[in-house]
Structure 1
Amino acid sequence: MGEPLVETQAASDGYPIQVTVWPAAGSPRCRVVVLHGVQSHAGWYHRLGRTLAGAGFEAHFPDRRGSGSNHADRGHTPSARRLLVDIAERLQSLRDRGDGAPIALAGISWGGKLAVLTAARRPDLVDALALICPGLHPRVGVTWRERLLIARCWLTDRRRRFPIPLSDPALFTASPEAQAFIATDPLGLRSATASLLAASTIIDLMVRRAPRKVRQPALLMLAGRDRIVDNARTRAYFETLASREPRVVEYPEAHHTLEFEPDPTRYAFDLIRWLESHAAANVAGAARVVS
């Protein structure tokens, strides 16, 4: 499998969103849209993209506005709604291709929040949901004092910047090489505006109300040694989803970013096997209901 393509998605408000696409050879078995975490970007997940494409899945990794290769308005979003609209617009563009390929939405870390909300709000665009060490119940976050300051700045200075509380690369991985990559990554996001951090709080509130609306087949992947995610609370939340076919896979010795594990293909192939048996089946079932 060669290098990925980079597309520019023009959001409805004019913002140019960079999307890394790993095309499948021939007609895709499924299109998988992967949402990255608050600090990471598409460049962290090349092995996942390459593995998905090699198995016949067309993989799309949009960099969130203000993150990764999106240099305009760095670390900023106008609102929580805008982030959700960006995702829905990408999914709609894929659905509009009209070739019948199912669409799976995967959320990694902080991106898991957006994935849950999108699956709940736009079931017409999401045939299957995968949550990979999702930040639904994080162990780390801003302090209460910082929250009060962020709330005040949201009213008075929405572009004031605050550090993202993930400065230690060891939170993500035990690999010295990967830690060095994270520490020197020029595209990693290390600070965010009050507007983005306030949007994150609003998203947290929305996530609490979402479970009964998530009916797609759902997969949860957890890392046993995760220092960022509270696995027990995350699993309990996942069990409240209305999904017809929930499944949990845990890697007891793994750390938060599965892509940086000694064998990153393990979780990729587990995801592929699950997609093979759930994504296509769900879109076929939906078609039968509609007809």
Structure 2
Amino acid sequence: MLYAEDNKLVFRYDDHTLWLEPWGENALRVRATKLSQMPTEDWALSEKTVDTSGKVSISTPKDGTATITNGKTKAEVSRRGKIIIYDSSGKKLLEEYARHRLVGQTDGVEGSPRQHYEPALEIEARELKGIAGGDFLSTLRIESLDPEEKIYGMGQYQQPYLNLKGTDIELAHRNSQDSVPFALSSLGYGLLWNNPGIGRAVLGKNVMSFENYCTKLIDYWVVAGDTPTEIVESYAKVTGYVPMMPEYGLGFWQCKLRYETQEQLLNVAREYKKREIPIDLIVIDFFHWAYQGEWSFDPKCFPDPAAMVKELKDLNIELMVSI
């Protein structure tokens, strides 16, 4: 069943509920769950958005499809719930990947190069597989419309690739790895996988997929734009802007592996000032605690943290402590 509700396009079938709604300029937010109520957390979409009054239209019963348009981004939903995203010129940007009998050999959307296929594989575009505790292992699958597509972003990883097309990426923070699941495509779209948690992104040349190993829903945000700058600006407007670095953070940082005692650190700071070498910040990296997971100063090695901080302030040096 497809219908408009307030400013949203809603699809319901069995225990599956899908929402598509305008979220910021030229962008749509897509959420799907098998819970009785749609979760309300906004996660990375933390900024207040402007009212774009997205236009929701339901097509005739003969066709059964529905569309929702917000500026340069348009989503079309088939009568069986499959989503295709277009830009304002009608160019197809994203198409969900589904190979199961509920969709059938045609998905009700004309013009797809993969409109006809064998559905016996039983692969869902939006899969929510129940796990112990009441949550789901969620998977979003997307057709790779162009094997030559270039994808950038996703954070910082130990790999030599700028173009991430064809890569398999762990969605997790680790020492020397930062996961920021926002993908910028050469086809003219940006996609944020708005599911905080451990997961995986496979940006394959046949199928792209995003997974979260323990969640309550599938949640992603997609925007179309004429330039990469326009897309990234739209992303910043809904997730927030990077704050200005404080003045001391723009200067020289001193850090080493590692300062074992309070006196050792202070001696280094004193020596910088004695030699009149400019320094703005000194870092206590790690293992300053007594027990793993406690994250407090070991009193044997750092007997008076307050006095340490005061002396550094007197030396006009900021202190950063890693945890």
- The TM-score with structure 2 as length reference comes to 0.28
Q: Which has the higher strand share?
A: 2
Q: Relative to total residues, which structure has the larger helix share, 1 or 2?
A: 1
- Please identify the structure whose Cα radius of gyration is greater: 2
TM-score normalised to the size of structure 1? 0.30
